[in-house]
Chain A
Amino acid sequence: NFMLTQPHSVSESPGKTVTISCTRSSGSIASNYVQWYQQRPGSSPITVIYEDDQRPSGVPDRFSGSIDSSSNSASLTITGLKTEDGADYYCQSYDSSSRVFGGGTKLTVL
């Protein structure tokens, strides 16, 4: 199996932009879709990005996803940060045998 590596934590001020990376250890990041999930404390996760760069209905367009084959990584970018964006964010992808989650990134907005 492969691993997805995320920064443990990031911090930014309201109104700013933050990018969270997710680097795949083996296999091409572009070969298998990447999803991003947001988990607020005490709540179940929800999808904020699916299929690399698609946004579910109801998710603000401040959230966007991208893939960079050169670094074999995916990124979640949140613009115009709000305090309510503070949460844990997980990337997730798969190979032929299993899905894999990244370790999660704690976003602090202050």
Chain B
Amino acid sequence: EVQLVQSGAEVKKPGESLKISCKGSGYSFTNYWIGWVRQMPGKGLEWMGIIYPGDSDTRYSPSFQGQVTISADKSISTAYVQWSSLKASDTAMYYCARSETGMTSNLDKWGQGTLVTVSS
């Protein structure tokens, strides 16, 4: 069974750093892209970016370029998104999702989401 399992909820203070994860199983992790999607409280889905774990090719949404870093460790079938200095406005649910291609294919499997709360 294809699964994407995300790391647990986080509570952080403004200015702190954070790295959340998404572990794939049940398929060849290096043959699919992993994308990240933000959903702020009560709001819609926002595209953050995507990575191909096979060669770490990474594409960012213009809105998130420079705000986060997307990475992957293919040896443990895990993708990450990290922040160097969190802001209160980073409070959101973050989803990872799998895709056959960087742009054209649908996101056919989603993780359960990681809730990030940033508050002083």
Chain A residues close to B by CB (< 8 Å): 1, 32-33, 35, 37, 39, 44-47, 50-51, 56, 88, 90, 92, 94, 96-104
Contacts and interface: CB of A to CB of B under 8 A. Distances in A.
A92 to B, nearest CB: 8
Interface residues of B, number: 23
A45 B45 contact: yes
A98 B61 contact: yes
A1 B103 CA distance: 14
A99 B106 contact: no
A99 B97 CA distance: 13
B80 interface: no
Interface in B39-76: 44-47, 50, 59-62
15 contacts: A35-B107, A44-B95, A45-B37, A45-B45, A46-B110, A47-B108, A56-B108, A92-B106, A97-B62, A98-B60, A98-B61, A99-B47, A99-B50, A100-B47, A102-B44
